[in-house]
Amino acid sequence: MYQAARGTSDILPEEQPYWHYVEQKAADICRLYGYQRIDTPIFEDTSLFSRSAGEYSDIVQKEMYTFEDRGGNSLTLKPEGTPPVCRAYIQHGLSNRPQPVKLYYITPIFRYDRPQAGRYRQHYQFGCEAIGEADAALDAEVIEMSWQFFKSLGLTRFSLQINSIGCKQCRPGYLVELTEYYAGYRAELCKDCKTRLEKNPLRLLDCKQAGCQRLADAAPRNLDYLCFECKEHFSNLQKYLEILSIPFEVNHRLVRGLDYYTRTVFEFQPEEEGSQSTLGGGGRYDYLIEELGGKPTPGIGLAIGIERTILNLKKENVRVPILPGLKVLMTNVGEETRDESMKIAAMLRREGISATSTAGGKNLKAQLRQANSLGVRYAIIIGENEVKTGTVTVRDMADSSQKTVPVSDLVSFIKKEA
C-alpha cells in the first residue's frame, strides 16, 4: 500500500480548522502591520538558494531537494522563503516603490531533514519580509508583529531571544577570536563542529551536543566585538522592544542556521522545549539583495513554522473555531422524489445555503443516519405526499423536531432559523 513519502503528511479535513485559524490570523496580523501577500514559485534556480543560505549551511550541504529538468537546468524545491522574495524584489523593480516593501507568504518548504515530531521534509511557513530600511525601529516592529501573532492565536507559553551577529566590518575580527578560542579545544569538539571550525565558526555556537554547548557558553561573545554602528543598532532595538513592552532575553549563542544574517537575529521558543522545536525565527539580511544582483538594500524578516505552531496550540489546549459545515441534507424515497430533491438542493445552493441530496438507494432511516454523521443542521424529507402538496418536512437534527414547510418558503425558513 502506498504511504505519503517519509517526512510528509496529509492534512485531513479534521485538521483543517487549525490551519484555517492560523492562516486567518496570519492574514489579519499582516493587514494590521501593512504587509501584502506574495506567492513565489515552488522551485527556483538552485544557485539562488546556495548563494543565499551559504555554501556550508546545513540547508545547502544536506537538505535541498535538487533536480535537473529536461532542459538540463538545476532547480531546487524552495528550502526557505527569503531568497525567492528577494529575487522577486529585484526582478520586479520593487525598489521603486515606497520603502520598506512589506511582503508576506504562506508556503510549503522542502528540506531533507531527519523526520521527528515537529520536523518534516515538507512543512509550511508563514513568513514576512520588510525590504529597504535599516533602522532598528523596523526590527522591533517585525519582532512585535510576530509576538502579537502568537498572542492573537492564544499561545502564552513562548519566549523571545535576540542577538546581534554584527556586520562585514566587525564580524571578521570576532571570528578570529572565536576560532582561536575553539582551536584550543579542538579535541573536545564533536565531528560536525570540527568541520565548522574550518568552514563556518559562527555555527559552533549553536551545536546541540552537550560538550560543545559547554564550550559555547564560555566562548567569546559577538556582542563584545560589535562595531560602534552595530552596537548602537542593537541597543536601539532593545530600547524599542522595551517601549513596545515585548519581553526578551539576549542570548549570545543565538546565530541561526543561514549565512545571510547581519546584526539582528531572533527566535521564538516554546517554553518547555529546546531549540529543536523553535516556533519561528529570523533576522536582518542587509547584504543579501546585493549578493543576488540588486542594489545594496537592507532587509529583515522572519518565518514561523505552521505545523509547530499548531502542535503548540494543541499543547496549550487552545480551542479553534470549527469550520462551517454542510447545512442541509435532502433525503428522498426513491426515483419519484429524487428529481424534486435534487431540484430543491440546487435552489438552496443558489441562495447560498449549503445543501446536497443523498444518492444511491438507501432507505430513509439510513439517510437520516447519514445526516447525523455529516453533522448537518437540517435533514429535509420529501416523500410522495410532499411532492403532491408542494411542501417538505424539515427535520432539525439538533432536537429531532419536524415541521412542514411549503417549498416556496423554504429558503426564508432556513435563513431565519440560522
Site residues for ligand HAM per CB under 6 A: 80-82, 111, 113, 118-120, 123, 125, 127, 129, 257, 278-283, 301-305, 307-308
Least distance CB 124 / ligand HAM (angstroms)? 8
Nearer to ligand HAM, 162 or 330 (CB): 162
Nearer to ligand HAM, 259 or 386 (CB): 259
Least distance CB 17 / ligand HAM (angstroms)? 20
Least distance CB 123 / ligand HAM (angstroms)? 3
Which set of grid coordinates corresponds to residue 341?
A: 430533491
Q: Please state whether beta strands 280-284 and 262-270 pair in parallel, antiparallel, or not at all (unpaired).
A: antiparallel
Least distance CB 114 / ligand HAM (angstroms)? 9
Which set of grid coordinates corresponds to residue 276?
A: 529543536
CA pair distance 170, 250, nearest whole angstrom: 19
Least distance CB 109 / ligand HAM (angstroms)? 7
Least distance CB 129 / ligand HAM (angstroms)? 5
Nearer to ligand HAM, 127 or 201 (CB): 127
Angle at 119 between CA 117 and CA 120, to 5 degrees: 115
Between the CA atoms of 284, 289, 291 and 292, what dihedral angle is there, to the nearest 10 degrees? 130
Nearer to ligand HAM, 133 or 307 (CB): 307
Give me the helices (H) in 245-402, please: 288-291, 306-315, 335-350, 364-374, 384-389
In angstroms, what CA-CA distances link 418 with 305, 327, 331, 348, 411?
Answer: 37, 9, 20, 13, 11
Least distance CB 118 / ligand HAM (angstroms)? 6
CA atoms within 13 A on the CB side of 296: 1
Which set of grid coordinates corresponds to residue 21?
A: 485559524
Least distance CB 146 / ligand HAM (angstroms)? 10
Cell 559562527, residue?
Answer: 202
Q: Exposure of 117 by Cβ count < 10 A (0-12 exposed, 13-18 middle, 19+ buried)? A: exposed
Instruction: Name the residue type at position 372.
Output: N
Nearer to ligand HAM, 149 or 378 (CB): 149
Tell me the residue nearest to ligand HAM as measured from the CB. Answer: 305
Nearer to ligand HAM, 118 or 166 (CB): 118
Least distance CB 272 / ligand HAM (angstroms)? 16
Other beta carbons within 10 Å of 185: 17
Nearer to ligand HAM, 298 or 305 (CB): 305
Beta strand residue intervals within 122-213, DSSP E:
122-131, 158-164
According to DSSP, the residues that pair with 36 across neighbouring strands are 103
Nearer to ligand HAM, 264 or 331 (CB): 264
Q: Please state whether beta strands 391-396 and 378-381 pair in parallel, antiparallel, or not at all (unpaired).
A: antiparallel
Task: For residue 151, give every residue at least 6 positions away whose Cβ sits within 8 Å of its Cβ, in sequence order, or none.
Answer: none
Nearer to ligand HAM, 82 or 331 (CB): 82
Give me the helices (H) in 34-135, please: 46-53, 58, 82-91
Other beta carbons within 10 Å of 195: 14
Nearer to ligand HAM, 278 or 357 (CB): 278
Least distance CB 139 / ligand HAM (angstroms)? 11
